[in-house]
Amino acid sequence: MVLLDVEKGKRVRVLSLNGGTGLEDKLTQHGLYPGDCVRVLRTAPLGGPLLVDVHGREIALGRGIAEKIKVEESKCE
Amino acid sequence: MRVALIGQPNCGKSTLFNQVAGYKAETGNFTGTTVTFTESSVRVGGETIEVVDLPGTYTLAGTNPAEREASRYLLSEDVDLIINILDASHIAQGLELTLELLAMKVPVIVAMNMMDEASRMGLKIDGPALQEKLGVPVLPIVASRGRGVKGLFLKALSLSKVKVLNTSNYLLMTEDDRMARHKVAGGLEREFVTRGERRINLRDRIDDLLLHPFWGYVGLVLILYTFFQVVYGVGVLVETPLMDYLDKITQELILCLGEGKFLTEITVGALQGVVAGIGIVLPYLVPFLLGLGLLEDMGYMSRVAFLMDALMHRIGLHGKAIVPFILGYGCNVPAVMSTRTLDDPKERFVAAALATLVPCAAILSVVFGLVAFYLGPFMALVLYLFNIFVIALVGRVLTLMIPEDTPGLILEIPPYRIPTLRTVTQKAWFRIKEFLVEAWPLLIGGSAILALANFFNAADFFNSLARPFTWTLGLPPATGVPLIFGIFRKELSLVMLGQALGSMSFDTVLTSVQMITFTVFVMFYVPCLATLSALRRELGTKDMFVITGLTVVIAMVTALLSRGLAIMFF
């Protein structure tokens, strides 16, 4: 499953970032690492970005990016 | 002694810097406002120290130019002490950088900034315990209100004298193990931060409305509409009496020096350049930049980017690039300036190029004075819609030609903050100063040249120069001068057109088709001198010429197209 498919409000665990090192660097710089728990807070309409809670910070991620983030539904504390 | 301020983006480094150094660095509730370092001498406790504000960076191994700048500086310059600023409301992330800094052979002080925000979020941070664990001083501050700032620098001064190195437990962390640092930092946060009840959850409530799939856009339109109304309301209120007064001075000067003399003409020309500068700065730049600063510092501009990302994607840009477009309708100069908040150089180029195609307030006067007045307001509306269509099309083509390698938006949406009057006004002044230094002298020189050309009756020469364009477009030869000199000051295009054609009743000297062709051409062709100077500053001389050439091509194509369409309809 990728982040793009996650229902609003659900917490999921990030498995891997599959967009090349450039994207991985950018995401880890915003505090998003594999193994972290994130939550989709909102989505913008018409193919707009997702608003994701990453350790209490809210990060807007374009759909193209959310598509490259593999996640799983598992217990996130 | 030299102290370097370092921290992650949007943690308030520049705010702290400006508190001690006076306003020298640009700030904003937006990541990546600082792109190079700024240095300043500061007097603390009777001694002078050098304080350096470095661009925000998430890690010393950063990838974008601004981040590389920060680590390069730290590694090469002799820095006596590092003040590491942490956003107290998100310390885990900030601590990752702290852990990297601890490994350097430079004393570190950790400044916990935005303690007020953290306590509003219900966070309790055990500073003393964290200080013990890290082995370096940890001090709480609120940089925006200046709280704890003096104490911080006094501490820095005393620490640099003792020359104690960091006695941290984390000195031996492997240098490039980001994952390990991430885990340790997360552990530190869990250990020393207790999360209480969030006292107010205003942010979520406001965002429920302002980021709503429907009401968010209603809010966007209302907020921007109000913004424009207030800006122009203030602008007109100031501009009209001011311009009248300046005109009177000009008239008296002409009387004083004697009409028709060389010296008079050139002085009046230069003076008109001065006046035009004031006419751009006061009514447009000042209220616009104040308003923009306010929206930025409150945190709304990032939300606009979030809302508009989908739409901007259609023309090959990210949501962040919406700002230059909004500004462009007032004046292209701040629009081009604002492209510097974009990360990618290609995106900056495309956004700046498109922003120069947005019809500014000066072009509005041509559209209204010519098209709306003689052909009806509906025609003016059609032209504006046509303009948006052309911009979207050009955006598409440009991004096809310059392939994007960034896959999409990654932007932190900051919490809402109440801006302080000081930061907003100082930020506006910081940007206005750029205009005054860069573009204003050009305006004055350009006006003087225009006066010279008039004095020597060079109109025929310029008309023949522009003849290939005016002939192709089916415009009278005399339109050459207003077109060429419109580049200096577009708000004068209409007046110059009247002078050149010998009548201000344009329906007697131009056909409807010519009016439309002329207006469309003016809408798109070469940006004004002030905008050109802004383009050169933001993108460099080469890109400035490329964009200028591009606008000429677009103007020719669109003007020819609208000429053809107009012939069919009229």
**The 3-state secondary structure of B439-464, one letter per residue:** HHHHHHHHHHHHHHHHHCCCHHHHHH
- Check CB contact under 8 Å for A48 and B310: yes
Q: Which fold has domain A3-72?
A: SH3 type barrels. (2.30.30)
Mean pLDDT taken over chain A: 85
Task: Tell me the C-alpha distance between A46 and B344, whole Å.
Answer: 24
Task: Tell me the C-alpha distance between B307 and A51, whole Å.
Answer: 11
B242 in the same domain as B337: yes
Domains of chain A, by residue range, sit at 3-72
Chain B contact set for A29 (CB, 8 A): 58-59, 62-63
B280 in the same domain as B143: no
- Check CB contact under 8 Å for B309 and A27: no
Q: Nearest CA to CA, how far is B117 from chain A (Å)?
A: 13
B492 in the same domain as B351: yes
- Check CB contact under 8 Å for B410 and A62: yes
Q: Nearest CA to CA, how far is A16 from chain B (Å)?
A: 13
- B207 interfaces chain A, CB cutoff of 8 Å: yes
The boundaries of the domain holding residue B288 are 215-408+422-569
Q: Nearest CA to CA, how far is A13 from chain B (Å)?
A: 15
B373 in the same domain as B317: yes
Minimum-distance CB partner of A62 among B211, B216, B409: B409
When divided into structural domains, chain B yields a total of 2
Crossing angle (nearest 10°) for helices B421-455 and B529-539: 120
Question: B26 pLDDT exceeds 70?
Answer: no
- Check CB contact under 8 Å for A57 and B408: no
Mean pLDDT taken over chain B: 81
pLDDT score recorded for residue B275:
79
* CATH code, domain carrying B108: 3.40.50.300
Interface of A with B (CB under 8 A): 19, 22-23, 25-31, 33, 42-49, 51, 55-65, 68
- Check CB contact under 8 Å for A30 and B58: yes
Q: Which of B210-224, B289-303, B488-502 bottoms out in mean pLDDT, i.e. has the lowest?
A: B488-502
State which of B126, B160, B195 marks the end of a domain: B195
B219 in the same domain as B191: no
Q: Nearest CA to CA, how far is A73 from chain B (Å)?
A: 21
Question: B357 pLDDT exceeds 50?
Answer: yes
B162 in the same domain as B20: yes
B126 in the same domain as B224: no
- B169 interfaces chain A, CB cutoff of 8 Å: no
Minimum-distance CB partner of A46 among B306, B310, B413: B310
Chain B contact set for A52 (CB, 8 A): none
B155 in the same domain as B245: no
Sequence-ordered list of residues with C-beta below 8 angstroms from that of B101, at least 6 positions apart, any chain: B6, B60, B82, B84, B108
Give me B41's structure tokens.
């001498």
B222 in the same domain as B114: no
Nearest residue to B153 via CA among B230, B51, B278, B252: B51
pLDDT score recorded for residue B468:
92
pLDDT score recorded for residue B284:
66
Longest CA span, chain B: 85
What average pLDDT does the segment B533-558 reach?
93
Minimum-distance CB partner of A44 among B310, B407, B408: B310
Q: Which of B289-303, B353-367, B484-498, B514-528 bottoms out in mean pLDDT, i.e. has the lowest?
A: B484-498
B197 and B274 in contact (C-beta within 8 Å)? no
Identify whether B208 is part of a domain: no
Identify whether B206 is part of a domain: no
Angle at B76 between CA B73 and CA B79, to 5 degrees: 75
Rounded to the nearest 5 percent, the helix, strand and coil shares of chain A are: 20, 40, 40
pLDDT score recorded for residue B219:
93
Q: Which of B20-29, B104-113, B490-499 bottoms out in mean pLDDT, i.e. has the lowest?
A: B20-29
pLDDT score recorded for residue B356:
94
State which of B148, B167, B195 marks the end of a domain: B195
Give me the percent of chain B exceeding a pLDDT of 70: 89
What is the number of other CB atoms lying within 10 angstroms of the CB of residue B403? 8
Give tens-digit pLDDT for B304-333.
889 988 888 877 787 778 878 877 877 788
Question: B90 pLDDT exceeds 70?
Answer: yes
Contacts with A, B 299-318, CB within 8 Å: 302, 305-307, 309-311, 313, 318
B185 in the same domain as B249: no
Give me B230's structure tokens.
């207030």
Q: How confident is the model at residue B32 (pLDDT cuts 50, 70, 90)?
A: very low
Residue of chain A whose Cα is closest to the Cα of B308? A48
Minimum-distance CB partner of A55 among B93, B216, B302: B93
Contacts with A, B 210-239, CB within 8 Å: 211, 213-214, 216
Cα of B398 vs its chain's centroid, Å: 22
Task: Tell me the C-alpha distance between A17 and A33, whole Å.
Answer: 8
CA distances from B418 to A58, B91, B296, B300, B323 (A): 18, 21, 11, 11, 20
Minimum-distance CB partner of A64 among B96, B306, B408: B408
- Check CB contact under 8 Å for A60 and B307: no
* Chains A–B, number of C-beta pairs less than 8 Å apart: 101
Identify whether B44 is part of a domain: yes
pLDDT score recorded for residue B198:
57
Chain B contact set for A64 (CB, 8 A): 407-408
What average pLDDT does the segment B156-179 reach?
65
Sequence-ordered list of residues with C-beta below 8 angstroms from that of B406, at least 6 positions apart, any chain: B318, B343, B344, B347
Question: B558 pLDDT exceeds 90?
Answer: yes
pLDDT score recorded for residue B282:
64
- B413 interfaces chain A, CB cutoff of 8 Å: yes
Q: Are strands B47-53 and B123-125 parallel, antiparallel or unpaired?
A: unpaired
pLDDT score recorded for residue B386:
92
Task: Tell me the C-alpha distance between B16 and B504, whole Å.
Answer: 56
Question: B555 pLDDT exceeds 70?
Answer: yes
Minimum-distance CB partner of B211 among A26, A33, A51: A51
Exposed / middle / buried, residue B535 (Cβ in 10 Å: 0-12, 13-18, 19+)? buried
Length of chain B: 570
- B62 interfaces chain A, CB cutoff of 8 Å: yes
Chain B contact set for A18 (CB, 8 A): none
B130 and B111 in contact (C-beta within 8 Å)? no
Q: How confident is the model at residue B514 (pLDDT cuts 50, 70, 90)?
A: very high
Minimum-distance CB partner of B92 among A42, A48, A55: A55
Q: How confident is the model at residue B501 (pLDDT cuts 50, 70, 90)?
A: confident
For B82, list phi and psi in degrees, rounded to 5: -110, 130
pLDDT score recorded for residue B291:
83
- Check CB contact under 8 Å for A55 and B213: no
pLDDT score recorded for residue B272:
77
B401 in the same domain as B304: yes
Identify whether B204 is part of a domain: no
For B41, list phi and psi in degrees, rounded to 5: -90, 135
Q: Which of B115-119, B162-166, B180-184, B345-349 bottoms out in mean pLDDT, i.e. has the lowest?
A: B162-166
pLDDT score recorded for residue B233:
76
Q: Nearest CA to CA, how far is A19 from chain B (Å)?
A: 9
Q: Nearest CA to CA, how far is B28 from chain A (Å)?
A: 17
Specify the higher pLDDT residue, A61 or B26.
A61
- B260 interfaces chain A, CB cutoff of 8 Å: no
Q: Specify which of A10-24, B96-110, B231-245, B515-529 reaches the highest per-range mean pLDDT.
A: B515-529
Q: Nearest CA to CA, how far is B542 from chain A (Å)?
A: 28
pLDDT score recorded for residue A51:
92
Identify whether B201 is part of a domain: no
Identify whether B305 is part of a domain: yes
What average pLDDT does the segment B201-206 reach?
80
End-to-end Cα spacing for chain B: 75
B282 in the same domain as B343: yes
Residue in B399, B411, B416 to test binding to A, most A beta-carbons within 10 Å: B411
Q: Nearest CA to CA, how far is A61 from chain B (Å)?
A: 5
Nearest residue to B424 via CA among B305, B287, B326, B306: B287
pLDDT score recorded for residue B424:
81
Give tens-digit pLDDT for B391-450.
989 988 888 877 665 567 888 888 888 887 877 887 788 777 767 776 778 778 877 887
Nearest residue to B567 via CA among B471, B469, B474: B474
What average pLDDT does the segment B40-67 reach?
75
Q: Nearest CA to CA, how far is A6 from chain B (Å)?
A: 18
Q: How confident is the model at residue B175 (pLDDT cuts 50, 70, 90)?
A: low
Question: B479 pLDDT exceeds 50?
Answer: yes
Longest CA span, chain A: 32
State which of B195, B225, B260 marks the end of a domain: B195
Give tens-digit pLDDT for B248-279.
888 888 888 877 778 888 888 888 778 777 76
